[in-house]
Amino acid sequence: MSRPVIGMSTGRMAVDYGPVPQYPLTYVPVDYVEAMLEAGGLPMPLALHEVGLYEGAVAEQLAHCDGLLLSGGVDISPAMYGEQPHPDLNATTPDRDAHELALLAEARRRGIPVLAICRGIQLVNVAYGGTLYQDIPSQVPAAIQHAQRSARHLPSHDVTVTEPSRLYGLVGGSLAVTSFHHQAIKDLGADLDVVATAPDGIIEAVEATDHPWLVAVQWHPEMSHGADAASKAIFDAFVRQCAGE
Ligand SMILES: [Mn+2]
């Protein structure tokens, strides 16, 4: 049996590329590729392109996929949820915001499984009508550290998972997670359930009530999937869903 194809949203960055200065790339971190391969999926990066490139461009791109991964990345433009930029907002990529919103809309229309990670949970919340903290340290006074300084595979802070939820069934009621984010959900979007929180109350996971399988986490299971059973369980479950099992 062939592997389910996992469409993975991509970012854009410019790097010095051999002799070419600041060469623009569309990219996906290798951690996601390896996590999907290990779980039995076939990872397919969905090159970032202009949503209006041609009629149906995004739907056609996702037509080849059995599931959608919304990957981590840079900040979402606050214009997407009607706010002005906070002084500590980082760089944004509005074309990526638009591409991922279109990918998610198409995935919802088709009812295919969606796994959203870090920036992905924020994108999901905005798509469902919610808002974000643009900068946790300055906007959530009692917040713990969510931008860890230790190695990326090491757990950083605790998370409590509520039941009943899909996530609870996969990882149980408490776990320690990697954390590399300075933004987070502020006002929750419609048709989303909060299923995990950090000790400071920051929302760390949501699930959609209007979709067959949409799980979104604020932490980075792709960074710890090789060492951590709970991280691996999330990818295994997602790929099984994409395979129709
Ligand atoms: Mn966190």
User: What does the pLDDT read at residue 226?
Assistant: 84
CA of 146 to the centre of ligand 1 (A): 4
Q: Which residues are catalytic?
A: 118, 220, 222
Is residue 106 pLDDT above 90, yes or no? yes
Is residue 20 pLDDT above 90, yes or no? yes
CA of 180 to the centre of ligand 1 (A): 7
Average pLDDT estimate for 146-168: 96
Average pLDDT estimate for 172-185: 97
User: Residues within 5 Å of ion ligand 1 by Cβ?
Assistant: 146, 179
Is residue 104 pLDDT above 90, yes or no? yes
Q: Domain of 173?
A: 5-242
Is residue 95 pLDDT above 80, yes or no? yes
CA of 237 to the centre of ligand 1 (A): 22
CB atoms within 10 A of CB 79: 12
User: What does the pLDDT read at residue 113?
Assistant: 98
Report how many domains make up the chain: 1
* CATH number (domain holding residue 160): 3.40.50.880
Average pLDDT estimate for 171-178: 97
Task: Dump pLDDT digits (tens) for 54-66.
Answer: 889 999 999 999 9
pTM of the model: 0.97
